[in-house]
Amino acid sequence: MSTPGLLRTALASNSGPSALRCLSSTPTRRFRDSAPRRGNFTTDSYPEIKRDPRFSQITAEHVAYFRDLLGKDSALVDGVTADVSADDMEPYNGDWMRKYRGHCKLVLKPASTEEVSRILKYCNDNILAVVPQGGNTGLVGGSVPVFDEIVVSTSRMNQIQSFDEVSGVLVADAGVVLEVADQFLAEKGYLFPLDLGAKGSCHIGGNVATNAGGLRLLRYGSLHGNVLGLQAVLPNGTIVDDLCTLRKNNTGYDLKQLFVGGEGTIGMITAVSIQCPQRGKAVNVAFLGAESFEKIQQAFREAKSQLSEILSAFELMDSYSQDMVHRVRQNKRPLDSEHPFYCLIETTGSNSEHDAEKLEKFLEDVMSRDIIADGVLAQDETQIKSLWSQREGITECVGHFGGTYKYDVSIPLKDLYRLVDDTRERIEAAGLKGDTDEFPVVEVVGYGHMGDCNLHLNVAVRRYDKRVEEVLEPFVYEWIGKINGSISAEHGIGIAKKKYLGFSKNDTMIDLMKQIKKLYDPVSFYMASFNEATTTNT
């Protein structure tokens, strides 16, 4: 196992969190609500991960350099030469799931690409480990330190640089919060081509660095297509300035794609330019119940053929996930009757009458053919929001009891839900699931982006417990490897999935990735390769 500190740019790190839909925008509240206030240190939970002693310890001299560079006290949180209250440092050290927690003592908040460049160069020269961090909403432990890595936060790089109202191209700093960007675009009649539950906290730089997927990938496609250009800083301080605003640009290797989804391992993204689609004025949402997963698949096929160009989301939820939402929120359920599966269908278009007619025809059709057992159609904006919250609220509600083991996987559609059943059976057979406090597992739930073959398998736990982890891993990854699925659909690799990369990428692919790592981040590459052989992580 390796992963010792290596320039954590190198290591998992996402530059920003990003993350995925889950989590709603108010994590702090949730921390207060549920049981353990703070997670264990990652170094205690995973003692096999060792700090590489060749990385330097941060000294007062280093801090002085950074203070001088950034120019003001508010641009750094300094726990090296001064006492910093735990509350000030904690948000940078821990992830919101309370699964990972580092020992960081220094947070830097540069305000420009040039400052990032000088920071990274200095760290590279002095062998100081670094973790880029955005809104810290990641789900794989990629945006938080493990040891005493320096956190480089994008939070002060938060300006929207330009927007072209004709082409719809937005250029913005990496630290702009996704929801802020989307609201800015809404005023102009445009839409950010990415939407996820964490939109109120996550930074767009982190979204791009982790190639976040989200709720509307089905309609608007992945960031690999929508990101037109970006600006990034390599570990040695080189500024990669490729802030192109053109849709077509076939001039050699498309190097920016290495940073999209590269999780900060070869550089830190500081600005992006993104192609934004027109915002649809007419939005309709239906919430449907079905008697089996086969019926849901049928409904999906019908939705694609009958709603085609206006279909903007098709989300799957099992009854266990909806029971959790109901249990935590005590709210009214959308449907009077209960069903093993639910789906949420959203249409977005430019003409509400045209859309409503199409949607109604579709709904009548699937109802009359017994594909769908029951359903509701939102009659106003408020109902649209509350139906969406049945889907978006799952992550938060699942985490309510203490923690969540999360698996974000791509599986061919026909086998998609079988993984949840198999996992639940395994957990039950191990006697880990029950209603009282002695059982670590509360429930095993499945939901996700049906339209993208992307399942979220979540195991809600009262506390993180090695026994649970041993039952789940590598079982889940082997299961996925067998059917040629992906062990990480949209959350990334981070620290959580590093050792399982081999289930989704063959040796040649991993080797090629290592070559790229070696090329752009030689310092941490050589560090890493000293520790037993291992995957460099993506």
Partner 1 sequence: MSALRILVPVKRVIDYAVKPRVNKAQTGVETAGVKHSMNPFDELSIEESVRIREKKRAPGGVEDICAISAGPAKSVDILRTAMAMGADRAIHVETADGDEGALEPLTVAKMLRAVVDKEKSNLVILGKQSIDDDAAQTGQMLAGLLGWPQATQASRVEFKGDSIEVTKEVDGGVETVRAKLPMVITTDLRLNEPRYASLPNIMKAKKKPLVKMSLSDLGVANERKLKIIKVTEPAPRQGGGKVEDVDGMISKLKELGAL
Q: Which residues form the interface with partner 1 (CB under 8 A)?
A: 72-75, 281-282, 286-288, 332, 334-336, 352, 360, 363-364, 367, 372, 374-383, 385, 387
Closer of 132 and 289 to partner 1 (Cβ) = 289
Nearest distance from C-beta of residue 412 to partner 1, angstroms: 30
Closer of 78 and 408 to partner 1 (Cβ) = 78
Instruction: Centre a 10 Å sphere on the Cβ of residue 438 and count the other Cβ atoms it contains.
Output: 7
Closer of 244 and 356 to partner 1 (Cβ) = 356
Nearest distance from C-beta of residue 70 to partner 1, angstroms: 11
Distance of CA 211 to the CA centre of its chain: 8
Nearest distance from C-beta of residue 167 to partner 1, angstroms: 23
Nearest distance from C-beta of residue 352 to partner 1, angstroms: 7
Report d(CA 227, CA 383) in Å as an integer. 33
β-pairing verdict for 374-377 and 282-290: antiparallel
Nearest distance from C-beta of residue 376 to partner 1, angstroms: 4
Token pair recorded at residue 358: 């199409």
Is residue 271 classed exposed, middle or buried when 0-12, 13-18 and 19+ CB atoms within 10 A define those classes?
Answer: buried
Is residue 429 classed exposed, middle or buried when 0-12, 13-18 and 19+ CB atoms within 10 A define those classes?
Answer: exposed
Nearest distance from C-beta of residue 396 to partner 1, angstroms: 21
Closer of 76 and 130 to partner 1 (Cβ) = 76
Report d(CA 119, CA 349) in Å as an integer. 46
Closer of 360 and 421 to partner 1 (Cβ) = 360
Nearest distance from C-beta of residue 409 to partner 1, angstroms: 31
Are 398 and 387 in contact by the 8 Å Cβ rule? The answer is: no
Report d(CA 461, CA 255) in Å as an integer. 41
For residue 309, what are the CA distances in angstroms to 137, 219, 223, 355?
Answer: 32, 8, 20, 10
Token pair recorded at residue 225: 């297509």
Closer of 232 and 378 to partner 1 (Cβ) = 378
Closer of 35 and 186 to partner 1 (Cβ) = 186
SS3 70: helix
Nearest distance from C-beta of residue 336 to partner 1, angstroms: 7
What long-range pairs does 474-477 form, CB within 8 A, spacing at least 24? 474/500, 474/503, 475/423, 475/426, 476/407, 476/409, 476/419, 476/423, 477/503
Nearest distance from C-beta of residue 74 to partner 1, angstroms: 4
Closer of 294 and 381 to partner 1 (Cβ) = 381
- Residue 16 is which amino acid? G
Question: 75 — phi, psi (to 5°)?
Answer: -90, 0
Nearest distance from C-beta of residue 364 to partner 1, angstroms: 6
DSSP states along 392-420: HTHHHHHGGGSEEEEEEEE--GGGTTHHH
Report d(CA 377, CA 307) in Å as an integer. 15
Closer of 45 and 386 to partner 1 (Cβ) = 386
CA-wise closest residue to 401 among 448, 423, 449, 434: 434
Closer of 66 and 287 to partner 1 (Cβ) = 287
